[in-house]
Chains A and B, each alone.
Chain A
């Protein structure tokens, strides 16, 4: 006859066995003792091919890491396939990665539409779709898409930061918004409204949208000026941003102008608009601009230069897309290190959602990355910068959007 003590001991033992069995799911496909195989799609050809350098930089970073011994003794093998920024191709290449190449998970596949096309597939098959390369806010939705995690601070986060700054510095502002009529532009509008809320919604006195097919946005700027706005938020891509900056200056607009961080390029936007006419613009940054001389003596920037010289081309050092890829690759390596020896898909996702106060090279001083099972936006802080006629000058504290 079993007595009570024996019974309990037996039950406890079997419970332990059971729980060990449960806690440790099998390693993901693509994981061996020597290798972690991961995949991504990148637009190496087609209209968005300028972004292809991101994938190249990430591959180069993992190469460097592997030469230094890899992650917990395993080499990272990144299979990066061309999808030409075409969603049907993204679906095909992603299926090849998952079903034929048997990668453990997807890392940094690029583009809003391409990632939307594979999101259901990844979530249905429980393949982590990590740190995807786009600023669309739809990818930080853990409640509905647990296996999909964004990376870039969303346009919405950025707009929230502008709204916070406006409320702080000009509580009686009359805001005019110029926005591109698509997901990108409308994310800004929602971000502003998130912060202004019902109480301050009337601060937005005018919203003017444009289509990318329009030749200029001059008439929109005229109507914004006519509305009596004294704050202008320019949520526009480079060409239209340049037009808006120039036109608003020519019309004698003397309020504050916020410029989307899609368009802060001095060469592509501010010079064509006129440097004098661009004075006083405010934008938001996350991470160090490699062309900014103020950072050049920092150890992290020196590390970046050395990396480019050895693994990329010297000319890459000024490419913001490349330095972006370098930082995300580091984040990925950090997450994999954190996984230890449990490289199941469940644990990889769990560790990706368990980044705590991570500080990485090339991020702004004080900037930390954080994720949790309910927060799939690793970067939430940005810092404002002011254009002084020559370069962008960071000012103030990091602001959380």
Chain B
């Protein structure tokens, strides 16, 4: 009940925000929604299925570049470009899922890490720069008003992100509550037992990889449209690591938790940067340290992430009321 109420409030907040928020804050919350979608994908893979990925920035990049190329070079509208780019991501993720079957745990983390390291350099590769714009990147035109309604670019981008996010959250929620989700969790917790129960582990794991990449791809495509620019620097290693931070801070294997994770990776670095004002101009290197410290405190206070913390708080208060 409390959970439903929380979802309802979050949705009401989101729906009302285009009517009162400034363009800049709408842009920030669009970024939050975009990160939330990517985190959701990563959480399906890592949180629910136990496959550790340090390379989701690469799938995010494929989605972003895919959408940008389709819009800029082929003149497709964004509402066609983003789904097509995401489908490409699904295929890429599904295919990457096969070698991933052979790697367990840390080895998979390293293999995906390599993907994240390679992505920016591959994107700048000369052979494809007629499509990607090489190291100069691509300028993506921003969408105008949706459905001919009177709205600013920031509002349309936000609505776009919100609609995509709501749809993808509902789908992910249904996935993990159903047969598919139970199979994923069973594979994570005890692969042999799962297989003996008749779960086709290889198939589920590769499909999970594909779906996870698809989520990252949708997020990447939306990001290209929201930012209006893609370049190899947009998809550095730090992005993949931020995603991992996001799902851990938000709470592994939690759908709602990714919202907290997304808020964390969007806003905390900014606040860390602002805090340095109190330490003088020479403390400009501090944000990293402040960010690190906050993360350590976070993990000490809520080892199961924010979602885990809320869950245990709810349980504690429930016990008291009984």
Contacts and interface: CB of A to CB of B under 8 A. Distances in A.
A338 interface: no
15 contacts: A86-B233, A87-B229, A87-B230, A87-B231, A88-B31, A91-B27, A91-B228, A95-B27, A112-B136, A113-B136, A117-B228, A183-B135, A209-B126, A211-B121, A213-B118
B234 A49 contact: no
Given A96-B24, A113-B137, A120-B139, A211 B229 contact: no
Interface string B139-153: 100000000000000
A200 B139 CA distance: 35
Given A117-B231, A212-B121, 10 more contacts: A47-B238, A59-B281, A86-B234, A87-B230, A91-B27, A95-B24, A113-B136, A117-B229, A209-B126, A312-B282
A92 B229 CA distance: 12
B28 A99 contact: no
Interface in A300-350: 312-313
A88 B136 contact: no
B22 interface: yes
Contacts of A92: 24, 27-28, 31
A82 to B, nearest CB: 5
B227 A88 contact: yes
Contacts of A183: 134-136
Nearest to B126: A181
Leading 7 A-B pairs by shortest Cβ distance: A117-B229, A113-B231, A182-B135, A113-B233, A99-B24, A44-B284, A82-B273
Interface string A87-111: 1100110011001100000000001
A95 B285 CA distance: 22
- Most B Cβ at <10 Å: residue of A82, A88, A114, A138: A88
B284 A88 contact: no
Given A88-B31, A113-B135, A116-B136, A56 B273 contact: no
Nearest to B223: A88
A85 to B, nearest CB: 6
A182 B124 contact: yes
B287 interface: yes
Chain A interface main SS type: helix
A242 interface: no
Nearest to A98: B24
B287 A82 contact: yes
Interface of B: 22-24, 27-28, 31, 118, 121, 124-126, 134-137, 139, 223, 227-234, 236, 238-239, 269, 273, 281-282, 284-285, 287-288
Contacts of B125: 211
Contacts of B281: 56, 59-60, 63
Question: SS class of chain B's interface: helix, strand, loop or mixed?
Answer: helix
Given A45-B288, A113-B137, A116-B137, A99 B231 contact: no
Contact of A100 (B24, B121, B285): B24
B123 to A, nearest CB: 11
Given A92-B28, A213-B121, A113 B232 contact: yes
A46 interface: yes
A372 to B, nearest CB: 26
B268 to A, nearest CB: 12
For chain A, give the interface size range. 35 or more
Contact of A120 (B24, B28, B228, B236): B228
Contact of A138 (B121, B136, B227, B239): B136
A111 B124 CA distance: 16
B317 to A, nearest CB: 37
A47 B234 contact: no
Contact of A82 (B136, B139, B233, B284): B284
A123 B227 CA distance: 16
B290 to A, nearest CB: 10
A117 B133 CA distance: 13
A184 B135 CA distance: 9
B236 A47 contact: yes
Interface string A240-259: 00000000000000000000
Contacts of B137: 87, 113, 116-117
B285 A44 contact: yes
A84 interface: yes
Interface in A22-79: 42, 44-47, 49, 52, 55-56, 59-60, 63
B118 to A, nearest CB: 8
A81 interface: yes
A138 B231 CA distance: 15
A146 to B, nearest CB: 17
Nearest to A182: B135
A52 B139 contact: no
B24 A116 contact: no
B238 A84 contact: yes
A113 to B, nearest CB: 4
Contacts of B139: 116, 120
Contacts of A80: 284
Contacts of B134: 182-183
Nearest to A99: B24
Interface in A165-181: 181
Nearest to A184: B135
Contacts of B273: 44, 81-82
B237 to A, nearest CB: 8
B238 A112 contact: no
Nearest to A79: B277
Contacts of A212: 121
